[in-house]
Structure 1
Amino acid sequence: MSYIGFITQQVKARNGVITNITMKENAQNLEELVVVGYGSQKKENLTGSVSSVSSKELESRPITSVKAGIQGLVPGLQVTNSQGRPGEDNTSMIVRGVGTLNNASPYILIDGVESGTMSAIDPNDVESISVLKDAASAAIYGSKAANGVILITTKRGKSGKPTVNYNGTVGWQAATGYVKRMHAADAAEYLNKALLASGKSARFLPEDIEKFRDGSDPYGHPDTDWQDLAYQGNGFMHQHSASVNGGNDNASYMLSAGYLNQNGIMKHSNREQFNLRSNVDVKLSNKFSVHTSLAYINNKYEDPTNSYVGGGSDQIIRQVNLFAPWVPYKNEDGTYGTLGDGNPIAWIDLDQTIKRRHQNFTGILSIDYQILKQLKFTAKGAYISQWESTDDFMKDIQYNPSKYHGPNSLNSRRYSWNRPSLDLLLNYNQSFGKHNLKGLAGYHLEKFNYDELRAYRNSFPNNELTDMNAGTSSSQTNSGYTRELAMMSYFGRMNYDYAGRYLFEANFRADASSRFAPGNHWGYYPSFSAGWRISEENFMESSRSWLQNLKLRASWGELGNQDALSDYYPWLATYNVGINYPFGGQLESGVAQTSQKLSTISWEKTTTWGIGLDVMLFNYIDFTIDYYNRKTTGIIMSVPVPGSYGLSAYKDNVGAMRNSGIEISLGFHKRWGDWGIHATGNFAYNKNKVLNLGGVTEQIDSYLINRVGEPYLSFYGYVCDGMFRTQEEADAYTKEYGNPFGTSKTFKAGDLRYKDVDGDGKLTSKDRTTIGTSQPKFTYGFNLAPSWKNLDISMLLQGALGVYRYFNGEVYGDFTGDTMHPCTAWFDAFDAETNPNGKFPRIAETSKTASYPNTVSSYWVKRTNYLRLKNIQVGYTLPKQWLSHFGISNLRVFYSGENLFKVDNLPINIDPESPSGRGSHYPQVSTHSFGINLTF
């Protein structure tokens, strides 16, 4: 016996005996619909590369953003969560590698409308997420899809009596790790070592070091733990989401509300979010239906800031990392201990924060009209607006009479934007015997309006009067501007299949943008894909009991990108007015050109081709493998010009880059009586290469380089070839290659040894080369979810391989004085007498050694491969007979942990996803939560 959506069963019938058959639902039904651009398709009919995430994979996790929730779940989607500041985790997303030297973020749509960010939605409102990774699936979005497309679909009402759902979690957060730093006594001893190595006198006497160690003089010889003082936030958070949905054959609705309160691990660092959503569908007649979506989200953020550059907690964290432990937090008279830059804990204590408020509104009205049985017309209008305010008030903090203070100041920013859009669609669907044809024709129109205003004043009467009017008018500055963009598109898609066996799809889109000059407004983006379901061939009939799907896919297409340009009018040269020129002995007012622009500048173009294989075995094992090759040409970048040119470098379509790789996913989904298991794994490999930089072979930016033939944003420095273990080795090396890099520094035992890469017999800056890439070569994720009766357990592991980070001397700490705090890794520094096999270079003053971390080399550029326990969850669903008397249809209680465990090879306790640089970022956090899922 068989039925669509259920597993085929064979039961022996007996004469005269009634046989009851309980159908078993097929959890891996190939008829499952997958959301694609401007519609949906059966999973079995997909010919492009599309990965999906369901709401079940996000439910019950205490995630504060959708981006964090999908990390490790989609092959080829690289998600990096670099810090843990509430609401501002700096999560980046890259689909199939970085494809441009400019903005490489994917195109994000919520319910078919451009969002630009995933922060505009509560994770509890998500029904499904589709990631369109190749041109075949993404070309319907044309010039906005070069970096991939992410489609988020929200939950909608279902026919039936009203159902009320509540999800709530309560938990706390803690840092995944801090760089461990020396206590005052140890730091003093190591500073003495550095000074003595330079032939100088020790700064601290033995009795000073003993007082640091025994704490007998807490003000004169303190042992200040700046990290402990800074990270005293309780990290408490609670999140609540309630929804009601229901309806009948003519109307359905889903209403939801959410609230999030998240305190950071640093005091006065917090986020508060409130959100509302309403999705309503009404069938006015057999041919006419209306769909509406309204969403509002309001976020308030606070973050501690400092007293001299503002901008948030990054500078506070930098000072916390730098201040020596013998600098007192407070003096005996209650005043703050301080150096020239102030006291970072004073900034926190006095509730000096930067306040940001963010609001987002989305309104969508969609009308469907069934013209014919095979033909449907859809009109969708949308309006999205965003408003944000930022107020950064820096207080006048009087540390003590001998230190500079003030003036206080306020820096304010207000911006808003809106994007009205219109989509008109015609969908055609017709079958002729075994021939199935679907067609789509569409028109898209949108406009983007942006407005920004900035204002500044200082010298406020006190720290409590924070209105802009209270500052002195003589100090005021202001600026502002408005921008407009418009875009118009025509697009179409055709799908054909014969008996569900031979599949073909073609897409085409034409985009026109106001960003480019007349004559270059339009860009054209085609794609083609085909599939062969071998499992549906007659010669495969004998294998269908164990092989449900065997499909080959191939695709080719072109995509575009205009978001590489921050300039709204990149083809128009700019001029300054009021410039004086001498004519006839007098100054005459005129204009002067300030920039050169090319009217020929146009879209970046990405050409992608790929092949794939989909397999399903025994109705519970699925396997997918894809190979892709993606080349981007016409990358917009600055073209170098000679100094005599008189103007700065101009932009042109001159760069090129290639990404190629393999993606693999495997799933196992089966139940045995009371037992069940759901297991998935994914693996992705990406090879990135810069092909063209507009006539130059390399572009260097500090310790990063883009070089033709090398991966994007590689690290650039010297190649370390070990360490001198004796002075004889160092002297012999110096005799052959000279002093390091032409300086007066000398090599000594315990210093790093460098390779003469260019072979000229000298160590110079020309010996620098690429020494690792900031982009991972491999990403992977594993999800294991066994269940038994009402008990469920799930565990998500994710990680990356072939990725590097560079952390400079501020992370490791140096030996310069009061603005130093060495990390404990220096305990394993080389010492000819006490530690001749030490792994770290010798202890020395920064100015006296070429082995310090700020000399970028392969020793300090660290491989940051990692494996992380991203989530673990244990839940129990109470038996229904316990609940029915209370009108409760489902109640599940659970524990959930995020970022609980990691494995890496870093010599310091810093999170491997941390950004490169000086380490002044908000630490990544782990979360423990308890919660309930309740349904009435």
Structure 2
Amino acid sequence: MNLKATCINTMARTLVQVIIATGCYGICAASVNGDHFALHKNYAFKVIDIAITGKVVEEGTGLPLPGVSVKIKGTSNAVVTDNQGNYRIVVPDAQTTLVFSYLGFVPQEKLVSAAGVINVTLVPSDNKLDEVVVVGFGTQKKADVTGSVVRANLEDFRNAPVTNVANLLQGTVPGLNVGQVNRAGATPSISIRGANTIAGNQNVLVILDGVQYNGSLTSINPDDIASIDILKDASATAVYGAQAANGVLLVTSRKGVAGRTRITFSSQYATQNPNIDTRPMGREEYLDKIRYLYYDQAFLAPTYTEPNPAFDLSSVVDRSMKDPQGNLLPNDFSWYDEASQNGYVLDNQISFSGGSEKINYLLSASLTRNTGFIVNDIFRRKSLRANLETKATDWLTVGLQSFGTFVNEDGVEPTIGTLRILSPLILPRDENGNLSINPFATNIVNPFLSYETDDYDRKNYFFANVYANVLLPIKGLSYKLNFGNNYRQILNYVSNSYDANLTGQASKESTNYYDYTLDNVLTYNKTFGKHNITGTLLYGAVERRQEYTRAYSNGFSRQTLGYNDLAQGNNRFAISNGFSESLNYQMARLNYGFDGGRYLLTATVRRDGFSGFAKNYKAAVFPSVSVGWDISKESFFKASWVDQLKLRAGYGTVGNQTPRYTSLARVNTNAAYVYGDGGGTQFGQEVGSLPNPNLRWERTTGLNIGLDFTLLKNRISGTIEYYNTRTTDLLYEVALPTVTGFNVIQSNVGQLDNSGYELSINSKNINSGGFQWNTTLNFSRNKNELVKLLGDRDGDGVEDDLPQSGLFIGQPLAVIYDYQTNGIWQIGEQIPSGYSPGTLRIVDQNGDGLINANDRTILGSGAPSFRVSLLNNFQYKNFTLSVFLNSVQGGKNSYIAGNTPRMIRDDNQIRNNHLSGIDFWTPNNPDGRYPRSILAATIQPALYQHRSFIRLQDVSLSYKVPAKVIEKINLQSVNIFVSGRNLATWTNWEGWDPETNEGLTTGGRPVLKGYSLGLNVTF
């Protein structure tokens, strides 16, 4: 190859020689001393303009940031990133500096140098209003969002001793209602903005890394989660159409970011013990209980307060508690203490993350063990995750988000209710050390027999989402393919020689579930002048399949192989079932912004089809529209103390699905006929339900109005929202006349209204002298009202109630309809027939002198009046202290529930133990709160108590070791922390816990409180 004298200098000639030496004979490029050169055939040219490309993502989540300004420093030349965070800009030379800026993030500057690709990770600033959130099939700046979308605060609760990511959300987001748990590894109840249905699906839709997730949240390692965004109103959830009536949780896992490899290890140990020390009666209290049940014999008339010396307690005690001579056994044994233990959580995490310009990765593993306060309440979890993403070409990015979780819950815990009713006078083992089968000599079995169970209880979860982002030739147009797969396997093998009336029983039970999601997403982003448009088109499908099999046998002569040889049982049985269902959907969304977000518009329409609906209504369309107005950007707005003020409003419709097959005529198999005397029973099939070919989707249409604000140079920020929704075509089983041969038919009826207010305020109280104090206040109020149901069936012109179902027109779904009580009948009073001293006095509502069902009345509601939480975060130098208070309040007649321990002198109550310290009525305790009587009352109403509470839910103190201390051992960061959860609860509720709605019952479980010590290290 001959070079012509066109090289512009010696360095260029050297460059050309280098390029030739490498065998490049086409168009080549390189950089020498900051100058960029191109070689075309025999010519080397100095390149004046340089094209720089790259991607901008958010720190921690790795989510792409659309709309980031990429500006040449010192000029007005700038571009913005597209919907996938990609950009391309031409710069004049290698000494150019690019400025990356985005509202809500700390700006960054990058020197071009010799780089042709510059990827940037932006760090969020403290302005919560301007963070980037996931909105479904894309991301948006919070400032550009027009619906009700909130990112949960996870960071302040990372140190909490929990095993389920949902527990981190309790009280942190207004409108998101997360309950308590009292079992190891359990998932709490989750709802968003109250109830929108009576009998339809009430589950919140969970989207994990863009894919619908129907597995348990227990399967997700909390440490793998980067963010959780909550879609609350119809305009935000409309992108998910028919499954979004109950709100949406968008869960995003962590990604690696470009830079050096980060190895992070964390370990935490936490104690877990009951937050209330309620236990069964000891020996003396137990014997007093029996004595007071026989107060008419144990005490002297007429007042029954003076002991009767002639009364022999052993004469009325169950024979199981007496020795052969008839004397009371001397024992004071605590069955409850024997079966309880100190619980704990041990959690270990390790992750590897990093990347380059072309690839990023995150690999993580975790090992978690949670032991509850009851023996064999054990949760063990192993989890592995691999998240990979590579930029294969300038126009193609492919990635994988995957995890496998393996849950072990082997072991059967003793029945708590039985533990608490067994007498302290009885021991669990006989004189030979063998477990007593029936300690009471009744059909109540020894709860410790569960220890003899060979129990194999495993749940395996597998998730993989493969995706590809393609930049199409048209500028701003991109295509994304999502193929998500969920698989879970549940195995439960049990063998116990005491089951099946002591003949022994063994079983193998397996459930296999699989679903896939295939989404095709086309996105177009264009900015021209003051206008910005983002259009999204979606076509997708979901298919779900499940198979269930249970084989079991009983009547074992020997059970040495247990569930591994069911053929050893004399009686063998098998059960199986399965289902398959599918959905397909299409969605179009338009986002429009004018003048940097001064005016905003989002319009969405989605069409859903579901195999489970009737043939005449397989599909439905769900539209929505929302607008936003940033008032602070108007020229007439002069309030200097207001940094940002955005008003938004949205209106839309979402749906709710019926359970599969409910629109069809279903067939039952039952014992149907016996041929002749002594003949065998033949099984037959019969139609068990009527079909409804016109069964429709529930439709929830809602209005949401919100105001986002930032004040006093970002010292105060927050959101105020009002919403009002209406659900029609409620799915409900309507009763049929028995002459039809059927009991009910699934139908669409009525109307349910739901409304409420929400408030969230963040304030930076102090930031001076190395000390910071920040506060977050959340408040929400919700109420619903049943407006219509089955119509006017009796012809009186008034919509009819359904008292037998607890449904009343004009009342909330949680209405309480029962008898009103007024104290307890006392000795010496004129007591009506059917009642006796110690029974509850019922108010005669209609004054007819009779107490019957007509005297029931509406007493209030079981739903809360409002929820409120307060988070205070204090930072001083390297110390951080977080204190979180959470509260649910009921006001005068809301958030109440039945809580009625009672005793009646019958065989069971005489024999059974009860909880200690309950204020039962006796003749010498006439003001006792709870009924105790010799005879059962004709009507035994419930007593209702307020469940309102304030809870010190989370406290965390952490210390970040200074960099100068750890850099000597090549560590990036070391964080040591102590934390506590559920440390104190202030309430008037009596019993286990107001939030779990478990009162003074022998079968209740306490909420667990705990203290933890942990360490986070990054290499």
- Shorter-chain-normalised TM-score: which range? 0.7 to 0.9
Distance 1:352 1:175, change over 3 A: farther
Which secondary structure does the structure 1 equivalent of 2:405 belong to?
Answer: strand
Cα distance per residue 1:846-904 (max 9 Å; x no partner)? x34468xxx233xx222111111111111111111111111111101111111111111
Which residue among 563, 582, 601 is the counterpart of 2:695?
601
Distance 1:464 1:887, change over 3 A: farther
Which secondary structure does the structure 2 equivalent of 1:192 belong to?
Answer: helix
Which residue among 709, 713, 722 is the counterpart of 2:823?
722
Aligned match of 1:585: none
Give ranges in structure 1 of 5+ residues lacking alignment: 10-22, 306-312, 398-403, 583-587, 740-744
Does 2:835 match 1:746? yes
TM-score by length of 1: 0.87
Aligned match of 1:426: 522
Q: Which moved more, 1:359-368 or 1:718-727?
A: 718-727
Distance 1:715 1:235, change over 3 A: same
Residues 54 and 127 of structure 1 are in contact (CA less than 8 Å); yes or no, is this contact kept in structure 2? no
Aligned-pair CA distance for 1:674: 0.9
Instruction: Name the aligned partner's letter for residue 397 of structure 2.
Output: S
Which residue among 352, 356, 377 is the counterpart of 1:244?
352
> How many residues are aligned here?
866
- RMSD over aligned CA atoms reads 3.3
Instruction: Name the aligned partner's letter for residue 208 of structure 2.
Output: I
**C-alpha separation between the residues in 2 aligned to 1:331 and 1:204?**
24
Distance 1:25 1:181, change over 3 A: closer
**C-alpha separation between the residues in 2 aligned to 1:202 and 1:694?**
60
Distance 1:160 1:590, change over 3 A: closer
Q: Which moved more, 1:219-228 or 1:784-793?
A: 219-228
Instruction: Name the aligned partner's letter for residue 905 of structure 1.
Output: N
Q: Which moved more, 1:590-599 or 1:612-621?
A: 590-599
Which residue among 844, 847, 861 is the counterpart of 2:933?
844
Instruction: Name the aligned partner's letter for residue 635 of structure 1.
Output: L
Aligned match of 2:941: 856
Aligned match of 2:852: 764
Aligned-pair CA distance for 1:914: 3.8
Which residue among 232, 237, 245 is the counterpart of 1:133?
232
**C-alpha separation between the residues in 1 aligned to 2:421 and 2:669?**
44
Residues 460 and 471 of structure 1 are in contact (CA less than 8 Å); yes or no, is this contact kept in structure 2? no
Aligned-pair CA distance for 1:543: 2.9
**C-alpha separation between the residues in 2 aligned to 1:581 and 1:510?**
52
Does 2:890 match 1:797? no
**C-alpha separation between the residues in 1 aligned to 2:840 and 2:760?**
43
**C-alpha separation between the residues in 2 aligned to 1:480 and 1:682?**
48
Which residue among 872, 875, 885 is the counterpart of 1:784?
872
Give ranges in structure 2 of 5+ residues lacking alignment: 1-73, 75-98, 107-121, 300-309, 676-681, 794-799
Which secondary structure does the structure 2 equivalent of 1:186 belong to?
Answer: helix
Residues 293 and 363 of structure 1 are in contact (CA less than 8 Å); yes or no, is this contact kept in structure 2? yes
Aligned match of 1:440: 536
Residues 323 and 818 of structure 1 are in contact (CA less than 8 Å); yes or no, is this contact kept in structure 2? no
Which residue among 926, 951, 963 is the counterpart of 1:868?
951
Aligned-pair CA distance for 1:258: 0.9
TM-score by length of 2: 0.80
Instruction: Name the aligned partner's letter for residue 570 of structure 1.
Output: S
Spell out the pairing of 1:36-51 with structure 2 (5 A cutoff). Answer: 36-51=135-150
Structure with higher Rg: it is 2
Aligned-pair CA distance for 1:334: 3.1
Residues 129 and 710 of structure 2 are in contact (CA less than 8 Å); yes or no, is this contact kept in structure 1? no
Distance 1:342 1:429, change over 3 A: same
Does 2:974 match 1:891? yes
Residues 336 and 343 of structure 1 are in contact (CA less than 8 Å); yes or no, is this contact kept in structure 2? no
Cα distance per residue 1:227-278 (max 9 Å; x no partner)? 212213x313310111111111111111111110122212222111111111
Does 2:715 match 1:620? yes
Does 2:284 match 1:191? no
Q: Which moved more, 1:522-531 or 1:472-481?
A: 472-481
Does 2:329 match 1:220? yes
Aligned match of 2:488: 386
Residues 534 and 550 of structure 1 are in contact (CA less than 8 Å); yes or no, is this contact kept in structure 2? yes
Distance 1:817 1:654, change over 3 A: closer
Which residue among 329, 333, 339 is the counterpart of 1:230?
339
Does 2:594 match 1:506? no
Aligned match of 1:487: 583
Residues 814 and 821 of structure 1 are in contact (CA less than 8 Å); yes or no, is this contact kept in structure 2? no
Which residue among 409, 416, 426 is the counterpart of 2:512?
416
Which residue among 792, 809, 821 is the counterpart of 1:708?
809
Instruction: Name the aligned partner's letter for residue 699 of structure 2.
Output: K
Distance 1:3 1:484, change over 3 A: closer
Aligned match of 2:664: 571
Residues 902 and 931 of structure 2 are in contact (CA less than 8 Å); yes or no, is this contact kept in structure 1? no
**C-alpha separation between the residues in 2 aligned to 1:814 and 1:876?**
60
Cα distance per residue 1:12-68 (max 9 Å; x no partner)? xxxxxxxxxxx9984116442111111111111111111111441342222100111
Spell out the pairing of 1:13-92 with structure 2 (5 A cutoff). Answer: 26-28=125-127, 30-81=129-180, 83-89=181-187, 91-92=188-189
Cα distance per residue 1:272-306 (max 9 Å; x no partner)? 1111111111112221111111111110113425x
Which residue among 346, 369, 373 is the counterpart of 1:265?
373
Identity of counterpart residues, as a percentage? 25
**C-alpha separation between the residues in 2 aligned to 1:658 and 1:295?**
40
Distance 1:127 1:188, change over 3 A: same
Aligned match of 1:923: 1006
**C-alpha separation between the residues in 2 aligned to 1:474 and 1:184?**
44
Instruction: Name the aligned partner's letter for residue 903 of structure 1.
Output: W
Aligned match of 1:913: 996
Residues 66 and 123 of structure 1 are in contact (CA less than 8 Å); yes or no, is this contact kept in structure 2? yes
Distance 1:581 1:42, change over 3 A: same
Aligned-pair CA distance for 1:484: 0.9
Does 2:208 match 1:115? no
Aligned match of 1:255: 363
**C-alpha separation between the residues in 1 aligned to 2:497 and 2:398?**
54
Instruction: Name the aligned partner's letter for residue 632 of structure 1.
Output: T
**C-alpha separation between the residues in 1 aligned to 2:230 and 2:735?**
37
Which secondary structure does the structure 1 equivalent of 2:574 belong to?
Answer: strand
Which residue among 817, 820, 840 is the counterpart of 2:912?
820
Cα distance per residue 1:766-807 (max 9 Å; x no partner)? 212333433323222211110100111111211212222324
Aligned-pair CA distance for 1:142: 0.1
Instruction: Name the aligned partner's letter for residue 849 of structure 2.
Output: G
Residues 798 and 870 of structure 1 are in contact (CA less than 8 Å); yes or no, is this contact kept in structure 2? yes
Cα distance per residue 1:711-748 (max 9 Å; x no partner)? 22433421012345663xx31xx4xxx43xxxxx3343
**C-alpha separation between the residues in 1 aligned to 2:602 and 2:904?**
55
Aligned-pair CA distance for 1:921: 4.3
Residues 823 and 841 of structure 2 are in contact (CA less than 8 Å); yes or no, is this contact kept in structure 1? yes
Which residue among 638, 646, 650 is the counterpart of 2:741?
646
**C-alpha separation between the residues in 2 aligned to 1:647 and 1:686?**
37
Residues 485 and 568 of structure 1 are in contact (CA less than 8 Å); yes or no, is this contact kept in structure 2? no
**C-alpha separation between the residues in 2 aligned to 1:812 and 1:888?**
67
**C-alpha separation between the residues in 1 aligned to 2:700 and 2:103?**
42
Does 2:616 match 1:558? no
**C-alpha separation between the residues in 1 aligned to 2:560 and 2:941?**
46
Distance 1:503 1:153, change over 3 A: same
Spell out the pairing of 1:685-704 with structure 2 (5 A cutoff). Answer: 685-695=781-791, 697-699=800-802
Aligned match of 2:32: none
Cα distance per residue 1:302-350 (max 9 Å; x no partner)? 3425xxxxxxx5xx111112223333334444344502234545225x3
Cα distance per residue 1:115-171 (max 9 Å; x no partner)? 123223100011110110000100000001000000000110101010111121012
Instruction: Name the aligned partner's letter for residue 244 of structure 2.
Output: A
Residues 327 and 818 of structure 1 are in contact (CA less than 8 Å); yes or no, is this contact kept in structure 2? no
Q: Which moved more, 1:287-296 or 1:709-718?
A: 709-718
Residues 734 and 745 of structure 2 are in contact (CA less than 8 Å); yes or no, is this contact kept in structure 1? yes
Aligned match of 1:663: 758
**C-alpha separation between the residues in 2 aligned to 1:879 and 1:72?**
32
Q: Which is bigger in relative contact order (C-alpha 8 A, separation at least 6)? A: 1
Instruction: Name the aligned partner's letter for residue 393 of structure 1.
Output: S
Which residue among 721, 725, 729 is the counterpart of 1:630?
725
